[in-house]
Amino acid sequence: MDLVLKEKVIIVTGGSKGIGFGICESLILEGATVVIIGRNKDSIPTAIKQLSARGGIVGHAYAELTDPEACKKAIDEVINTYGTIDGLVNNAGVNDGVSLAGGNFELFNRSLQRNLTHYYMMAHYCLPALKKSKGVIVNIGSKTAETGQGGTSGYAAANGGRNALTREWAVELLPYHIRVNAVIVAESFTPLYEKWIQQFPDPQAKRNAIEARIPFENRMTTPREIGNTVAFLLSNQSSHTTGQLIHVDGGYTHLDRALNPSSE
């Protein structure tokens, strides 16, 4: 299916690694121009090199996303360079483990800044350009907003906020023909996930136990599978889809995992 994304300018926050990189891979295969925004001056050049080697057109703007002025500056750079913004993928974030018992106000507030506030700021500063292009916003969310996880109050709250903003923006932006959707992720083996799982005495056994509870094919979702859904939502092939929370998770969030023989 041709998603007709050729030469569309799409911003992907946190696009240099993990799920963000998988999203960028899917987009360049559709001919989109991808602009990675983030703070990592080590991983962003590497990602640009890898994506460009596959024929992708890739740009970047450095920004500490917890800084509103840095967000504004990054969006201004994109508009000055490309003249338009056709899509925004809010992806950057980190499951930082700010718990109810072990956290405090400062840590909780910092977690919201790292995982939610910049979703608002990026959309806010992109909005004039998105109105002109009748563009699309896709927010990346996590199952933690619906299932809980334990020990990560800040991240769970931020993801609840991402879901709420998706629905709120879908309503507010109806008059401008801007669609807003979210892709909800459960278990995807990213570099951050691998770092987390290495904390266990037997990382492979832990991974096997997690995958046994994923109903569809007993495996984690790949970043590219998430990216493919994001690309579809950014395209006019999904032209009447807005305000949706679409779970790309192998059935983890909603299917009864007791039905899976591997989990018995």
Annotated catalytic residues are 155
Q: Residue 197 and residue 84: Cα distance in Å, rounded?
A: 40
- Reading the block at residue 169, the tokens are 């923006």
Q: Residue 169 and residue 192: Cα distance in Å, rounded?
A: 29
What's the chain's Rg over C-alpha atoms? 18
Read off the amino acid at residue 13. Answer: T
CA atoms lying within 13 Å on the CB side of residue 235 = 19
Q: What's the DSSP call for residue 257?
A: G
Is 264 buried (19+), middle (13-18) or exposed (0-12) by CB count in 10 A?
exposed
Q: Residue 160 and residue 26: Cα distance in Å, rounded?
A: 26
The separation between the first and the last C-alpha atoms of the chain, rounded to the nearest angstrom, is 39
